[in-house]
Amino acid sequence: MNLNLLNREPFSSDVAMSRKQKQLRYKLLQHLYTRGPSSISSLCDSIGISAPTAFKMLGELTRERMVEKRGVGESIGGRKPDLFRLQRNVVFVICIDIELFKTSMAIVDNNNHFVTPIKTLPIALSRNRKAFFEALIDHVRELVKSANIDEARLVGCSIGMPGLIDPATGENYSYLLDETDGTTLRVAFERQLGLPVVIQNDVKGSALAELRYGHAVGKKNVLVILMDWGIGLGIIMDGKVQHGSSGFSGEMGHMPFVENGELCYCGKYGCLETVASGMTLSRMAREGILSGQNSIINDLSNKEIYRIETELIIRAANKGDQYSIQLLSNIGTNLGKGISILIQLFNPEMVILSGKIAAARQYITLPMQQAINTYCMTQIREKTQIISSELGDESRLLGYAAAGITWFFDAMIADVRER
């Protein structure tokens, strides 16, 4: 990460502080961001400071309107302790969700408050960086301008997208590959935006959102299945999102699944995505309509078959369209077989279904559960709960915000330590 881009103090009061004071302040703010409302004693234990020091720091941060009292905690006996939390708008991060055929963005603060509405644009992911930046960057700048925030507290941009992404190097090995001077995608974004940038795979964002704010809160071993145009897996083990040695963990969609199957865009034949993804669902629906299949899908798409997407097929199924229901059932069965392999490998306490296909609910989950019952050992599957995400369409942006703000505090603590 390019720390040189953090060339200003986000908090003006930090300028006159000693290095140790700054480091303790950032550790305290990081604790409150990560763990939420906290008592004096928990702050002292976490940061390694005395109670008088904690009182002094909290008093200063309260006067600066960065921290506030928020309720009281539990007590075995005696007075219940006051709890402190971050106020809104202490720091901001630009969150960008890049999908295959559209891009969404918003500015989010440290309390998960959307400072701007989510802006969705028909900017498709391509292999050409220059064209992509030309389509995107002006919209990002307009978003910042419309937010009317203190830009000194805009600490970075957190980006999620599909593909093989190494978060340590900031490179995507699947998309936006046309640079010839060795510039990583993260550095290319930083040059365009003039801000630190964090890049991660989209399903890692979904998994982090579930771990911080969704069904995985307090859980140790959870699998998050992102079912959109492709199929991705977020792995939570020991209460942390796992990235693997190169950041490539969770490529569930490219597990070999069908002998002599269809050619996948990754170059292999018979991947799970060729029989169980949103891309496959749309393709199968289009092929059926072209071959004369009777379905209301044709009418719902105004007979423009290349507009047929997952949401439209789900809408047709909810209207009782049997062809749509059968398509979703086939996808659910294949996904269930794939998930049964994962359950036996990881023995999770929970599997969370997210993404566009998850919105099909029972049309996906019933055949999926039946397949899991068929292919998974009883003793293992009975200890695994299958549940749909309830975080909604903005969940990945919340995950990106968590990744970006967490990186900011880590980077500032490290930067102060190294000076």
Which domains are seen in the chain, by residue range? 3-86 (1.10.10.10), 92-202+396-418 (3.30.420.40), 215-390 (3.30.420.40)
Q: What is the DSSP letter of 414?
A: H
Q: Which long-range contacts (CB under 8 A, 24 or more apart) does 111-114 make?
A: 111/86, 111/87, 112/213, 112/398, 112/401, 113/88, 113/89, 114/394, 114/397
Complete DSSP assignment for 317-380 = HHTT-HHHHHHHHHHHHHHHHHHHHHHHHH--SEEEEESTGGGGTHHHHHHHHHHHHHHS-HHH
Alpha-carbon torsion angle 78, 79, 81, 87, nearest 10: 160
Q: What is the pLDDT along the chain (419 residues), one digit of tens a residue?
A: 444 445 556 776 665 678 888 889 999 999 999 999 999 999 999 999 999 999 999 999 999 999 999 888 776 666 788 999 999 999 999 999 999 989 999 999 999 999 999 999 999 998 789 999 999 999 999 999 999 999 999 999 999 999 999 999 999 999 998 776 788 999 999 999 999 999 999 999 999 999 999 999 999 999 999 999 999 999 999 999 999 999 999 999 999 999 989 999 889 999 999 999 999 999 999 999 999 898 999 888 877 887 788 999 999 999 999 999 999 999 999 999 999 999 999 999 999 999 999 999 999 999 999 999 999 999 999 999 999 999 987 889 999 999 999 999 999 888 776 55
Q: What is the pLDDT of residues 108-137, one digit of tens each?
A: 999 999 999 999 999 999 878 999 999 999
- Can you give the pTM of this predicted structure? 0.91
Paired with 108 in beta bridges are 93, 114
